[in-house]
Chains A and B, each alone.
Chain A
Amino acid sequence: MIEFENVSFSYEKDRPVLRDVSFRIETGEAVGLIGANGAGKSTVMKLLLGLLSGEGRIAVDGVEVRKENLREIRRKLGFVLQNSDNQMFMPTVCEDMMFGPLNYMVSREQAEKKVDEVLAQLGLTELKYRHNHRISGGEKRMAAIATILAMEPEAVLMDEPSSALDPCNRRLVINVIRSLPQTKLITSHDLDMIWDTCSRVILLSGGRVAADGPAREILRDRELLEKHRMELPLRFQS
């Protein structure tokens, strides 16, 4: 479903952010993208979404990420931003959720039906007409995920979905992620959350893929993680 082939990227010459990154994600896989600050995780996301363009080949469902394909690519991918306030710019939750579908020429009735459906699925029905600036941080994160699901993406990308949430809301978000049938690519420093949601992990370090394999192997490999400035998930630290 998602292919990176020898992808390199740099903002300035001679200071590459990504070097020769290659991986494949199959349909339905849940992949955690981990790495220390500055390892290039966000860059991978941005390249995939066509917000940046680098060298090498990136493709989604066989469609190459290029300017003329962006609309098609972005239709397939839903990106949940780390800061939900930046994601939700419309006045109410309902309107925010309808923003994406309406842009893809879905009728208003269909869009609203989809909104109701997604809200019911996530158990957020009472949020529908609430104002985005009046809901709590946890509600905001859930609503942000809902805005993406309303677009019926084939793959969901998430940037730090569990950051700044209380334990209860974090658990809620984890359960939602686990319940999603879509292909998932999640970046996070919360390795316990990655453990709970992903079956495979790609470890980036210094702009290269340092490891790529099953989550239960990589996330228990203390030596590997520490070499790349990470730590074991808390549950394995005792």
Chain B
Amino acid sequence: MNKMEKALHELGEMDDLAARSSPIHDMSATAKLLTTIAYIVTVVSFDKYDLSGLIPLVLWPVLLFQLGGIPVRTCFYKLRIVLPLVMAVGLFNPIFDRAPLLFLGSVAVSGGVVSMLTLMLKGVLCLMASFLLMATTPIDCLCASLRTLRVPKTLVTLLLLTYRYVGVMTEELAIMTDAYHLRAPGQKGIHVSAWGSFLGQLLLRSMDRAQELYASMLLRGYHEHFHYAPVKPFTAKDAAYLAVCLGVFALLRFVPVAALLGGALVR
């Protein structure tokens, strides 16, 4: 499988997940989008040493994974892009930030270790949140919700159309890449002599394709307006979900729940 085929596979996987049905899938996309953003902002706003404050926030994605019936494995595969980046930022912390921050019995834990763990956890949680949004919301519902949130029509239509053709283009390039490597065994990438023509050929063909696509739109009566899938109404249930989530996030942000819980037990 080349890179493009992998990307296609990933796209297909997300489509399949989003097409399932569960209590989370049935929720309005707007409610899900807003809670996701609130969650990410909450996570990111924690102090770099506040690991114990951050930990209870793990429960939200865990709950969503279970309620939505989403396999965790798919999500962890996606971590490969974000995690190295965040790790690289955090990895040297323990070595150079050696000032003891806390003591576990007689063992001192440096600030660097805590801040590294916090940063990594933040990275993982943010990724899980967006992943869960996309794994439970089909792109057309998300776009419809963007429209209700007053995102300009041009941009939403462009997103929908582009998403439609990302698959087509990626597939064509996957085939071209295979065809290239079959005739150029042992080459890792595209040789300099074909730098321009490889993508250029497809680009020219794509321009013709765009013309045909536009013709097809015109022939079916297109004139400036695009009609979208009906938006799932924002029900009282969605409002309640949104309110509860926002409330819980605020609570977890400002009250050190983990510490209090533990404190009650230790005492």
Contact = CB atoms under 8 A, between A and B. Distances in A.
Q: Do chains A and B touch in the complex (CB under 8 A)?
A: yes
Contacts of B218: 51, 74
B216 A89 contact: yes
A86 interface: yes
B174 to A, nearest CB: 14
Interface stretch (B85-93, B111-119, B160-168): B160-168
B227 A134 contact: no
Contact of B221 (A71, A90, A108, A134): A71
Nearest to B208: A86
Interface in B1-56: 11-12, 15, 19
Contact of B227 (A71, A87, A102): A102
Given A103-B222, A103-B223, A134-B12, A87 B230 contact: no
Contacts of B212: 81, 83, 86
Interface in B218-253: 218-223, 225, 227-230
B229 A103 contact: no
Interface string B196-223: 0000000000000100110111111111
A176 B60 CA distance: 51
Given A74-B218, A74-B219, A79-B219, A92 B225 contact: no
Contact of A98 (B19, B215, B227): B227
B15 A103 contact: no
B5 to A, nearest CB: 14
A17 to B, nearest CB: 17
Interface string B136-150: 001110000000000
A204 interface: no
Given A95-B229, A134-B12, A86 B219 contact: no
B161 A89 contact: yes
B15 A99 contact: no
Q: Is the interface of B mostly helix, strand, loop or mixed?
A: helix
A178 to B, nearest CB: 23
Interface residues of A, number: 33
Contact of A133 (B168, B228, B230): B168
B221 to A, nearest CB: 3
B215 A100 contact: no
Given A133-B164, A133-B167, A91 B227 contact: no
A99 B161 CA distance: 13
A75 B219 CA distance: 8
A132 interface: yes
Nearest to A91: B140
B219 A49 contact: yes
Most buried by B among A75, A78, A90: A90
A234 to B, nearest CB: 28
Interface residues on B, range: 20 to 34
A91 B163 contact: yes
A103 B168 CA distance: 25
Nearest to A103: B221
A147 B217 CA distance: 12
A90 B216 CA distance: 12
Given A81-B216, A85-B168, A90-B164, A99 B12 contact: no
A108 B161 CA distance: 21
A51 B219 CA distance: 9
Given A90-B164, A91-B140, A100 B221 contact: yes
A134 B12 CA distance: 7
B216 to A, nearest CB: 5
A104 B138 CA distance: 27
B155 to A, nearest CB: 16
A186 interface: no
Contacts of A134: 12, 15
Contact of B164 (A49, A100, A132, A147): A132
Contact of B213 (A86, A104, A147): A86
Contact of A90 (B19, B160, B219, B230): B160
Contacts of A75: 221
Of all A-B residue pairs in the complex, the 9 with the closest CB atoms, nearest first, are A103-B221, A100-B220, A133-B167, A102-B227, A91-B140, A86-B212, A86-B213, A87-B216, A85-B168
Interface of B: 11-12, 15, 19, 138-140, 160-161, 163-165, 167-168, 209, 212-213, 215-223, 225, 227-230
17 contacts: A71-B221, A74-B221, A79-B219, A86-B212, A89-B164, A89-B213, A91-B139, A91-B164, A99-B220, A99-B222, A99-B227, A100-B220, A100-B221, A102-B227, A129-B19, A131-B19, A134-B12
Given A74-B219, A92-B229, A99-B222, 10 more contacts: A78-B219, A85-B165, A88-B164, A89-B165, A91-B139, A91-B164, A95-B227, A98-B227, A102-B227, A151-B221
